[in-house]
Structure 1
Amino acid sequence: MCSGSKTAIALDFPGYWLYSGGTATVHLMGTRKPREGIVVRGTEKKYEDTGRLDHIAFAATDVEGMRKRLQSKGVKFRESVVPRTGDIQFFLYDPDGVGVELNFPKT
């Protein structure tokens, strides 16, 4: 479910996207089931200090440069394409186990 004037998309978990100036800024997500590429707290690793914070998301640029940088540093990440927009997303974890989402606009 999405808030604002954006079109709702079907997801397999509950959530709301809060917008600022037409840009999805805060993602509030409900419980998700684990699946490939999706780690749900408590199933594979236990992070004591993240509380209910699942992940933070950033608008990003230079997808090729970031991909090369993460790979050169040995950072594990999952890459996906948003079907309705063609935007590219990277998903990774910070050292404390908080998820980080990087969103790159379609080029």
Structure 2
Amino acid sequence: MIVFELFHIAIKTADLEATVNFYTKVVGLKEFDRPRFKFPGAWLGVPGPTGKPIIHIYAGEPALAGGDSVAVGTAAIDHVSLSAVGYHDVLANVKKYGVDWRENEVPGGSIWQFFIYDPNGVLLEFTFDGTREKGEKPDMSPGRAYRAGESFFNPENYNALTATYSK
């Protein structure tokens, strides 16, 4: 056996609409056709002619896993990283939707990053090749620089933003 790529990640949600809207409007993924499972969900992925679904969202009974609520956050997985181009354009879109973020420049290299949370508390890292990016380097000032292990997710403030993602 040879593993050659990550096929997809799956995220449970209590709010399917807010989650789909976040990933399509803020992140810029597109919705793909999904098999007719007996529970609600969505498949989201990279736009373009060779795009494929990379994030599976599921809601309803499977998301509850026999409980009364859906877990929040990434648990033992710290974050999900997405490669991207257009650092300042992508970051401007994040700001447009009022999503909080943190920035990072990897020491000793040319990698630029910024981090945001989805409505379910899943931490996303956007990774860029800084040698191909134009404009200012990531803001590493206190309060804006990403610090591994420090959460900046605030569910109460974030929940107030979910109405922004309405279609």
Structure 2 stretches lacking a partner, 5+ long: 7-69, 133-167
Structure 1 stretches lacking a partner, 5+ long: 1-19, 26-46
1:57 and 1:103 in contact (8 A); partners too: yes
CA RMSD of aligned residues (A): 2.3
1:53 and 1:98 in contact (8 A); partners too: no
Out of 83, 89, 92, the position equivalent to 1:68 is 92
Q: What count of residue pairs does the alignment treat as equivalent?
A: 64
Q: Which has the higher strand share?
A: 1
1:55 and 1:101 in contact (8 A); partners too: yes
Out of 88, 101, 106, the position equivalent to 1:82 is 106
**TM-score relative to the length of structure 2:** 0.34
What is the percentage of aligned positions where both structures have the same residue? 31
**CA distance in structure 1 between the aligned counterparts of 2:110 and 2:75, rounded to whole angstroms:** 32
Shift of 1:65: 0.5
Decide which structure has the larger Cα Rg and report it.
2
Q: Deviations over 1:12-45 (max 9, x none)?
A: xxxxxxxx69xxx7xxxxxxxxxxxxxxxxxxxx
Residue 96 of structure 1 aligns to which amino acid in structure 2?
A: N
Q: Which has the higher helix share?
A: 2
List aligned pairs for 1:26-65, cutoff 5 A. Answer: 48-49=71-72, 50-65=74-89
Residue 76 of structure 2 aligns to which amino acid in structure 1?
A: R
Show structure 1 runs of 4+ deviating over 6 A.
none
